[in-house]
Amino acid sequence: MTSPSGRMRPTHPSAHGIVDLVDAFALRTAEPGSAPGPLTGVTVASSDAEPGDLFVALQGLKAHGAAYAAAAVAAGAVAILTDDAGARLCADVRPALGVPVLVADDPRALLGDVAAWAYDYPARELVTIAVTGTNGKTTTTYFVDAALRGTHATTAVLGTVELRIGEDAIESPRTTVEAPALHALLALARERGATAATLEASSHALALGRVHGLTFDVVGFTNLQRDHLDFHGTMEGYFADKARLFAPGQARRGVVVVDDAWGRALVARAQIPVESVATHVGSPESATADWAVVEATIGLDGVGSTFGLRGPDGVVHAATSPLPGLVNVSNAALAIVLAHRAGISLADAIAGVARAHAIPGRMERVIERGDGWPLALVDYAHTPDALVLALEAVRPITPGKLIIVFGSDGDRDTGKRPLMGEIAARLADVLVVTDENPRSEVPAQIRAEILAGALAQRPAGTDIHEATSRADAIRTALELAEAEDTIIITGKGHEPTQEIAGVFHRYNDRDVLRAAVVTAQ
Ligand SMILES: CC(=O)N[C@H]1[C@@H](OP(=O)(O)OP(=O)(O)OC[C@H]2O[C@@H](n3ccc(=O)[nH]c3=O)[C@H](O)[C@@H]2O)O[C@H](CO)[C@@H](O)[C@@H]1O[C@H](C)C(=O)N[C@@H](C)C(=O)N[C@H](CCC(=O)O)C(=O)O
Ligand SMILES: Nc1ncnc2c1ncn2[C@@H]1O[C@H](COP(=O)(O)OP(=O)(O)OP(=O)(O)O)[C@@H](O)[C@H]1O
């Protein structure tokens, strides 16, 4: 993987005139200025500005981007696009910025279209697929990508774990990058000969227009569970933001898992053609859905599952999920239909998903059981529902005790903390409660809220431990474990850092586990 600060932009961007930008988007000019060169890129972050960029200065939650316009110009930005408030801030800069300051009423609403224009609409030359939902986005996108790879020699997959084009990848700053970065990545993908791109669309991204400026060929919905209520306010608000992906102009067709009521509501409300997929065997939805999982056998070794997928024509196809647990049967079924609707034959889609590699931090087996070692897995479950499913998936492959190491994020939905504690105390045998990403919060307070939930379920507090450092928590779990036990470390998955009090420390659960094995040898 290239360095996290590495940029993924086209190496041969085309040059546009500022006059053409003004004409194309009916912009007003606050300051005529003088562009030092043609426009070759777009950014919303001064720290990412490169020579030739249009710096789009947005009103943020904490600041107005126009406050950073001078920094962007110093880095080479050739023009500023902002709103009226931003233009006033730019007018106050002394000495004057010197570059044209352009104004739109709502620059965020234009951002995706401007970025697509600047990079010559790369998405039009790629098969594009987006997946949304609370859980399963990453897994489903990797499954879809595996299915596409049989037909498309070079693909891109853009999401939480990494930004990957072909075999070249960098760490991803978030689940869905801002629209200028997205269109730059798609332009680079096109330049490198990619013909398909699969990406995760987070609810934040949909609310903030990060995927504007392209029409996806196919979009998918996994499920909706409690998360991110700090941002969306209510479940209805969260759902409404997810539903934005299933709108004309944003996508041509959709595939929706209808196991939960939100998926069924989405099918009823979507204004694009959608197909439904029911993945709970024997559920009422499976009788009426377009596609349905009609049987599923969980691999007893915990590796994967086989299942039957009934298509709209009534024919049942034998399929495989390469990852453990029923949730991955659901993700695999969705991925197969998405890939098929993106132009892959059903047989090739099924075969491709079956071949998907291990996905970083998703039910990833880091230590295999044997030689006195317990089985140790790292999983990204960080919502109450995901935690239930993760623990239920590993229980059948655990002859001894099930040991969980977990915490909960700071500065995020606080209501889930006692729920996570209660679930862990109910479904695991031994708990080691520790920190996840405390961010600006006091770590001990977060742990106390989790422990309150755990103790409500298990008042005597038996086998409930607390560790102030995550690495210590993992080492504690290893000390407590016998060979027949399973350790599952949840919450951070692939994450390469731990955010504490504004500082991102290099940290990874898998590395700590591997280091413990090496030290013991
Ligand atoms: C809630 C949210 O999404 N916030 C995003 C938003 O931040 P903000 O509105 O607070 O921005 P701000 O700090 O007020 O700054 C205003 C503007 O000035 C710019 N600026 C700011 C400082 C500077 O030095 N230079 C500069 O140019 C910023 O780029 C921004 O455009 O705009 C910023 C610029 O694009 C984003 O970095 C920031 O994402 C933050 C980092 C974030 O944590 N977002 C998370 C919540 C997120 O998006 N998560 C989703 C979902 C994940 C999941 O499903 O689990 C994701 O897609 O990752
Ligand atoms: N279909 C599913 N339903 C419920 N839980 C799931 C599903 N798929 C995966 N999970 C659980 O959710 C965790 C996150 O999975 P994944 O990374 O694929 O989802 P995601 O939507 O990308 O999450 P995030 O947006 O937080 O990155 C997994 O580690 C697993 O525990």
Inside any domain, residue 3: no
- Of ligand 1's listed atoms, the one at least distance from the Cα of 55 is 27
Inside any domain, residue 6: no
Inside any domain, residue 179: yes
Residues 342 and 416 in one domain: no
- Among the three residues 336, 354, 372, which one is the final residue of a domain in this structure? 354
Q: Give the sheet arrangement for strand 101-103, strand by strand.
A: 28-31, 101-103, 79-82, 53-56, 41-43
Token pair of 460, please?
A: 């005597």
Domain tally, the chain:
3
Instruction: Tell me the CATH number at 400.
Output: 3.90.190.20
The pick from 131, 135, 256 for probing ligand 2's pocket by mutation, whose C-beta has the most ligand atoms within 8 angstroms, reads 135
Check pocket membership of 58 for ligand 1, CB cut-off 6 A: yes
Residues 398 and 323 in one domain: no
φ/ψ bin of 371: left (φ > 0), alpha (ψ from -120 to 50), beta (otherwise): left
Inside any domain, residue 439: yes
Check pocket membership of 228 for ligand 2, CB cut-off 6 A: no
Token pair of 454, please?
A: 């755990």
- Among the three residues 117, 142, 174, which one is the final residue of a domain in this structure? 117
For atom 31 of ligand 2, which residue has the closest CA?
381
Strands 28-31 and 41-43: unpaired
Q: Distance between CA atoms of 463 and 482, rounded to whole angstroms? A: 14
- Of ligand 1's listed atoms, the one at least distance from the Cα of 205 is 57
Task: Write the pLDDT tens digit of every residue in 121-145.
Answer: 999 999 999 999 998 999 999 999 9
Residues 229 and 278 in one domain: yes
Residue-level pLDDT at 247: 96
Inside any domain, residue 99: yes
Check pocket membership of 386 for ligand 2, CB cut-off 6 A: yes
SS3 per-residue string spanning 411-428 = CCCCCHHHHHHHHHHHHC
Residue-level pLDDT at 311: 98
CB 175 within 8 A of CB 160: yes
Token pair of 131, please?
A: 């997946």
Inside any domain, residue 1: no
Inside any domain, residue 13: no
Residue-level pLDDT at 227: 65
Check pocket membership of 160 for ligand 2, CB cut-off 6 A: yes
What ipTM was assigned to the predicted interfaces of this complex? 0.93
CB 36 within 8 A of CB 68: no
Calculate ∠ Cα 185-189-191, nearest 5°.
115
Residues 268 and 130 in one domain: yes
Domain that holds residue 260: 121-354
Inside any domain, residue 416: yes
176 is in an annotated binding site: yes
Residues 78 and 140 in one domain: no
Residues 77 and 157 in one domain: no
User: If we measure between CA atoms, which residue out of 91, 26, 87 comes closest to residue 58?
Assistant: 87
Q: Distance between CA atoms of 388 and 402, rounded to whole angstroms? A: 13
Residue 267 vs residues 145, 216, 255, 369, 518: alpha-carbon distances, Å? 24, 17, 9, 43, 50
Query: DSSP letters along 306-354, please?
Result: EEEEE-TTS-EEEEEESSSSHHHHHHHHHHHHHHHHTT--HHHHHHHHH
Instruction: Tell me the CATH number at 54.
Output: 3.40.1390.10
Residues 451 and 480 in one domain: yes
- Per-residue exposure over 282-295, b if at least 16 CB sit within 10 Å of its own CB, e if not: eeebbeebbbbbee
Torsion angle, alpha carbons of 102, 104, 106, 109, to 10: -80
**In the chain, what are the helix, strand and coil shares in percent, each to the nearest 5?**
35, 25, 40
Which amino acid belongs to residue 278?
Answer: A
Residues 111 and 141 in one domain: no
CB 135 within 8 A of CB 257: no
Residues 414 and 283 in one domain: no
Residues 220 and 107 in one domain: no
Residues 344 and 223 in one domain: yes
Which residues of the chain register pLDDT less than 50?
1-6
Instruction: Tell me the CATH number at 166.
Output: 3.40.1190.10
Residues 58 and 198 in one domain: no
Check pocket membership of 503 for ligand 1, CB cut-off 6 A: no
- Among the three residues 74, 92, 117, which one is the final residue of a domain in this structure? 117
Q: Minimum-distance ligand to the CA of 225?
A: 2
Q: Distance between CA atoms of 173 and 162, rounded to whole angstroms? A: 8
Q: Distance between CA atoms of 393 and 395, rounded to whole angstroms? A: 6
